[in-house]
Amino acid sequence: MGYRQALDTFVVELDGVPYGVNKGAVLADDHPVVRHDAENGGRLFTPLDAADADPPAKSGPDPDPAETPVKPSGRKPAAKAP
């Protein structure tokens, strides 16, 4: 099974139900919105690289900033005022 990535954000109505798709969303080739696009000119999606056997990993919630390690900037701390 292949996957396609949305080229833009759009809404398409299928059987009276609106489907919203965000730019960059990845859907399977057999998804109703992808099939609808293919039947109507195929301009809303681009195929993902055939070398990608699996869909891209879904991103989870943003990590807690308190748990994210801070990389040193390499700059010296500012001098404290007397």
Residue 6 clears pLDDT 90, i.e. is over it: yes
Residue 11 lies inside a defined structural domain of this protein: yes
User: What is the length of the chain?
Assistant: 82
Domain count, the chain: 1
d(Cα 30, Cα 76) in Å, to the nearest integer?
55
Residue 80 lies inside a defined structural domain of this protein: no
Residue 30 lies inside a defined structural domain of this protein: yes
Other beta carbons within 10 angstroms of residue 6's beta carbon come to: 19
Query: Could you report the per-residue pLDDT of 20-47, keeping only the tens digit for each?
Result: 999 999 999 999 999 999 999 999 999 9
pLDDT of residue 33: 95
Query: Could you report the per-residue pLDDT of 41-50, keeping only the tens digit for each?
Result: 999 999 987 5
Query: Could you report the per-residue pLDDT of 63-82, keeping only the tens digit for each?
Result: 555 555 555 556 666 666 66
Boundaries of domain holding 30: 3-46
